[in-house]
Amino acid sequence: DILMTQSPLFLPVTPGEPASISCRSNQSLLHKNGYDYLEWYLQKPGQSPQLLIYLSSSRASGVPDRFSGSGSGTDFTLKISRVEAEDVGVYYCMQPLQIPYTFGRGTKLEIK
Amino acid sequence: QVQLVESGGGVVQPGGSLRLSCEASGFSFSSHDMHWVRQAPGKGLEWVAFIRYEGSQQYHADSVKGRFTISRDNSKNVLYLQMNSLTSDDTAIYYCAKLGRSFGSGLDSWGQGALVTVSS
């Protein structure tokens, strides 16, 4: 199974400041088609997860452009350019390249 | 708009069975691969199972293989998860999720979840 490692696990951020979450896999997520199969999800308190980013850097429909994804191979990053109060929750990376799909442990973003 | 509504959760004794349903609406259900993902209390997300859009292929996590079965009825727009030989480790919220238009496009819609509690 592909192991996904996120850091940090806890991220306190001041509103208006940027935030960054790292996700590393123990196998390359680069498909032979040239795309990296890495997704980011946000689970807000008391809600179901929602898709933020797919194929490493493509924003899902309706996701604000302050969210961006980058990276390739085994090293990926989710960045929030200016954190807002509504961004609190747990962020998960997930690889859909290989069955079983595997998630990172999650990064809890909190507002300072 | 897309809606996924899970049902069938509840309290069941160890060794018991339960069948979850996920009613889909607002999109062409028969055109999309579907997944089940679960979340134990206070824990992270765990992928459980996946079924191709036409139902020809199913995949299950090792933790549930041989005990759980994913299936679908495209004529009724319903996804199922049959869960047998349940243990306390299966206690979780179970979410159904829809894959986007193609492989790698993400799980773009999720249900509200169904709580399964395995306890004597």
pLDDT in tens, A74-96: 999 999 999 999 999 999 999 99
- DSSP string spanning chain B? --EEEEE--EEE-TT--EEEEEEEESS-GGGS-EEEEEE-TT--EEEEEEE-TTSS-EEE-TTTTTTEEEEEETTTTEEEEEE-S--GGG-EEEEEEEE-SSTTS-EEEE---EEEEE--
Q: What is the pLDDT of residues B34-93, one digit of tens each?
A: 999 999 999 999 999 999 999 999 999 999 999 999 999 999 999 999 999 999 999 999
Residue in chain B lying closest to A42 (CA): B45
CA angle A65, A40, B110 (to 5 degrees): 100
**Are B44 and A90 inside 8 Å of each other by CB?**
yes
Suggest the residue from B2, B6, B33, B47 to mutate for an interface test with chain A (most A CBs closer than 10 A): B47
Residue in chain A lying closest to B4 (CA): A48
Q: Within its chain, how far is the Cα of B64 from the centroid?
A: 12
**Interatomic CA distance for residues B70 and B60, integer angstroms:** 8
Q: Which residues of B touch A90 (CB under 8 A)?
A: 44
Place of tokens 């496009």: B105
Could you give the percent of chain A with pLDDT greater than 70?
A: 100
> Where does the pLDDT of residue B2 fall: very low under 50, low under 70, confident under 90, or very high at 90 and above?
very high
Q: Which residues of A touch B108 (CB under 8 A)?
A: 51, 60-61
Place of tokens 């799980």: B107
Average pLDDT taken over every residue of chain B:
97
pLDDT score, position B45 = 98
Q: Which residues of B touch A3 (CB under 8 A)?
A: none
